[in-house]
Amino acid sequence: MKLLRYGPLGQEKPGVLDADGKIRDLSGHVADIAGEVLSPKGLQALKAIDPASLPVVGGEQRYGSPVAGVSKILCIGLNYSDHAAETGAEPPSEPIIFTKQINALCGPNDEVEQPRGSDALDWEVELAVIIGSRAKYVSQSDAMDYVAGFAVMNDVSERTFQTKRQGQWTKGKSHDTFGPLGPWLVTKDEVADPHALDMWLDVNGERRQTGNTNTLIFNVPHVVSYCSQFMTLMPGDVITTGTPPGVGMGMKPPQYLKVGDVMTLGIAGLGEQKQTVVAARD
């Protein structure tokens, strides 16, 4: 299934994408794509619904984040061998975990704000893992049992804030709109191998990133299990797993986003996103 949330910001309704690419309204069955809805039992109940029995949602619709009730966004740094090489960093011996604050989460085609004082706004196409069940101290062999599905994320980053303003990476990752997610959550049964997905990102129509999840250093079960050793993962939590090479910081000389630039990005089978950069709002 391709589960989604549609409608104005703050008023999103749950939906599912049918085989013809039409949005079908799920609000008669679930309040939102969140909590127990993401559990194996909840997803099985949704799968049993005939999409043709659901109302068609007409007209142009804004996509929101495909999951609600997110308690945390965890990010894995330098998790692609070819991206680590372009930054000049040694591949990590353990997953590097940092956080992106919840206020960063937004729809896949929402505008991305350039923060005040920003001079190094960057892009990162990433495979996001959506947790479906409470996970604490899970093994790698069992980790996929706790995954609801996958989505595209643009891990938008401000490199000056991230690397030159002291402290953790979080303040370079957490401005409003720095976490476009979606357009939908693709349930794991429809992703044959999350470690064989082509991914790409363009800026103003020019290819910047081309990669494949087969160059992940730490795969999805490893990352889910590892994170669960340090904190309890809850339904709806997002783990974004790293980016392939081609980020602005890695270019020679570095190239960064400015107001008016347009990012388009996608992952095979998981959909595409498009964002325009705008000046930060109050």
Q: Which of 273, 281, 253, 233 is nearest to 99 (CA)?
A: 233
User: And the tokens for 100?
Assistant: 């992106």
Average pLDDT, the chain: 96
pLDDT tens, residue by residue, 32-84: 999 999 999 999 999 999 999 999 999 999 999 999 999 999 999 989 987 76
Can you give the pLDDT at residue 50? 97
pLDDT tens, residue by residue, 107-122: 999 999 999 999 999 9
User: And the tokens for 200?
Assistant: 């790409």
User: Over the Cα atoms of the chain, what is R_g?
Assistant: 18
Domains belonging to the chain, first-starting first, are: 64-279 (3.90.850.10)
Cβ 199 vs Cβ 215: under 8 Å = no
User: Torsions phi, psi of 190, nearest 5?
Assistant: -100, 5
Residue 222 neighbours by CB under 8 Å, 6+ apart: 95, 140, 143
User: Torsions phi, psi of 27, nearest 5?
Assistant: -65, -15
Can you give the pLDDT at residue 171? 93
